[in-house]
Amino acid sequence: MTEFSFTLQARDGNARRGTISMPRGLIRTPAFMPVGTQATVKAMYPEQVRELGADIVLGNTYHLMLRPGAERVARLGGLHSFMRWPHPILTDSGGFQVMSLAQLTKLDEDGVTFKSHVDGSTHRLTPERSVEIQGLLGADITMQLDECLKLPADYSEVERAMELSLRWGERSKAAFGGEPGRALFGIVQGGDQPDLRLRSAEGLRRIGFHGYAVGGLAVGEPQAIMLEILQETVPALPDEAPRYLMGVGTPEDILLSIARGIDMFDCVMPTRAGRHGQAFTRYGRLNMRNAKHTEDLRPLDPSSDCPAARDYSRAYLHHLFRTQETLGAMLLTWSNLAYYQTLMKEARQAISEGRYTDYVAEVRENWERGEP
């Protein structure tokens, strides 16, 4: 069986191009992982997601443990078979959703007790149970359970949550064991405090993980704060392991984070925006609900490889959203995910050619200039 491995193939400044090897396939980095919260990337067929260039998708432990249930997914053959995605899957730990969606009833050293946002039923999530659930789902990359605080928060509270997350990281690793071909990632916490981020990173390195995620960002803090935290934190992470920035984000956030050494990203933004009439293009963001598109026969982007962006008129897309037709959400989601994967493909090429800084400048200039 192929073991988990990460190979760096090129560098340009702090930006890195690499490949993660796993039994179910290769993951080219920098990589954007479409979010398949409930065993589906919303409004997309799995084959479409793959054809756009996605090597890996993300599944959500919290939602899947509630519906249809981890044990049921296991009985049905695992998440890959269930959702017809035979390629790598990363599952988050469920911690972020427990803190943000559920009614949290108790947090203690052992774990968290919460009430489901679906039916009010009570559940218990510990580091061990989170790892068990992700194993039942069949995750290729498992995330440790952590406590993700809402910011701003007092320094003492951020420190407490960071230290608890470190202890949960140790327990997650002990529960994970050493299954061949699967990987466990630790999560750096510490809020907006650089010294706590460094302590978290150092603690995770001592524990030892296959990869390292930066969590607790993209939760409303200014972009400058996020980039400052990355600038301080990423150099403290092992050079030989992949680095994953959780829940980020806008195309600009991703490009600037790659420049600071991040390898992996996930975000609901391209799919959520698509369902609400927002299109990401090389000209910037377009709102297809705006009346100016009513009789515009141009496509979103005639140079795109994606049929949704290249072959449908803006007038038609505008009509679909005005009439609340499902096809509108499907087409814009398709187009947005295509744009994100194109950014990743071009970023990887630019890093290999030693021109990543120039590439980012060109992309941002196109956004600012807008359409010709």
Question: Is 93 labelled as part of a ligand binding site?
Answer: yes
pLDDT over threshold 60, residue 209: yes
pLDDT over threshold 60, residue 37: yes
Question: Is 263 labelled as part of a ligand binding site?
Answer: no
The CA distances from residue 95 to 92, 98, 101, 307, 326, in Å, are 8, 5, 10, 37, 32
Q: What is the DSSP letter of 30?
A: S
Model pLDDT, residue 26? 98
Nearest to 127 by CA among 103, 147, 155: 147
Model pLDDT, residue 31? 98
The count of other CB atoms within 10 Å of the CB of residue 97 is: 21
Distance CA 246, CA 264 (A): 8
Nearest to 254 by CA among 283, 229, 226, 282: 226
Model pLDDT, residue 93? 94
Model pLDDT, residue 96? 85
Active site residue 92: yes
Average pLDDT estimate for 18-34: 98
Distance CA 153, CA 369 (A): 38
Q: What is the per-residue pLDDT across 47-76, written as a single tens digit (0 to 9) for each? A: 999 999 999 999 999 999 999 999 999 999
Model pLDDT, residue 151? 84
Distance CA 349, CA 344 (A): 9
Q: What is the per-residue pLDDT across 89-101, written as a single tens digit (0 to 9) for each? A: 999 998 888 877 7
Model pLDDT, residue 356? 98
For residue 229, the Cα-to-chain-centroid distance in whole angstroms is 18
Model pLDDT, residue 152? 87
pLDDT over threshold 60, residue 318: yes
User: What rounded mean pLDDT belongs to the chain?
Assistant: 96
59 SS3 class? strand
DSSP 146-177: ---PPSS--HHHHHHHHHHHHHHHHHHHHHHT
pLDDT over threshold 70, residue 1: no
Model pLDDT, residue 90? 98
Model pLDDT, residue 9? 98
pLDDT over threshold 60, residue 260: yes
Q: What is the per-residue pLDDT across 132-168, written as a single tens digit (0 to 9) for each? A: 999 999 999 999 999 988 888 999 999 999 999 999 9
Whether the bond between 302 and the residue before it is cis, its omega within 30 degrees of 0, is: no
The structure tokens 């590439």 sit at: 359
Contacts made by residues 318-326, CB under 8 angstroms, sequence distance 24+: 318/288, 318/289, 318/290, 318/291, 318/293, 318/294, 321/277, 321/288, 321/289, 322/289, 326/43
The count of other CB atoms within 10 Å of the CB of residue 223 is: 16
Amino acid residing at 48:
Q
Question: Is 189 labelled as part of a ligand binding site?
Answer: yes
Domains in the chain with CATH codes: 5-266 (3.20.20.105), 274-369 (no CATH)
Better-predicted residue by pLDDT, 91 or 117: 91
Is residue 300 a contact partner of residue 359, using CB atoms and an 8 Å limit?
Answer: no
Catalytic residue among 55, 140, 192, 266: 266
Model pLDDT, residue 328? 98
Is residue 134 a contact partner of residue 169, using CB atoms and an 8 Å limit?
Answer: no
Model pLDDT, residue 128? 98
Question: Is 25 labelled as part of a ligand binding site?
Answer: no
Q: What is the per-residue pLDDT across 164-189, written as a single tens digit (0 to 9) for each? A: 999 999 999 999 987 789 999 999 99
Whether the bond between 68 and the residue before it is cis, its omega within 30 degrees of 0, is: yes
**What confidence category does residue 103 fall into, taking pLDDT thresholds of 50, 70 and 90?**
confident
Model pLDDT, residue 117? 87
Catalytic residue among 92, 140, 253, 301: 92
The structure tokens 């960071």 sit at: 162
Active site residue 311: no
Distance CA 94, CA 134 (A): 10
Q: What percent of the chain clears pLDDT 70, i.e. is strictly above it?
A: 99
The structure tokens 């774990």 sit at: 111
Model pLDDT, residue 42? 98
Tokens standing for residue 86: 């035979």
pLDDT over threshold 80, residue 203: yes
Question: Is 247 labelled as part of a ligand binding site?
Answer: no
